[in-house]
Amino acid sequence: MARAILYNHLPFGVITRKDLKRLSDCQIIVLPDVIMLDKEEVEAFKNYVREGGSLYASKDTSLMTYDGLRQNNFLL
């Protein structure tokens, strides 16, 4: 994904847990196979989408908690 973004000269940044309160500053968020998410991260991304944000989550994103528990369904 980063390669495609760079090739097309699109600006991008990296989001960390410190940025969860500023998600509304992003036009789109890409979560490439981010397997583990905690409740705070899941809620932040769900609120971002509820408020009109665009989220792309690929492959196994949100299938596991930080405790190592595999979920029956995606958390997002």
pTM (2 d.p.): 0.81
Contact (CB, 8 A) for 34 and 62: yes
Tell me what pLDDT residue 1 has. Answer: 75
From the number of C-beta atoms within 10 Å of its C-beta (0-12, 13-18, 19+), residue 37 rates as: buried
Average pLDDT over residues 52-57: 94
Transcribe 36-49 into DSSP letters: B--HHHHHHHHHHH
> Is residue 7's pLDDT more than 80?
yes
> Is residue 49's pLDDT more than 90?
yes
Q: Where are the domains of the chain?
A: 16-76
Query: What pLDDT, in 10s, does the model give residues 9-44?
Result: 988 888 898 999 999 999 999 988 888 888 899 999
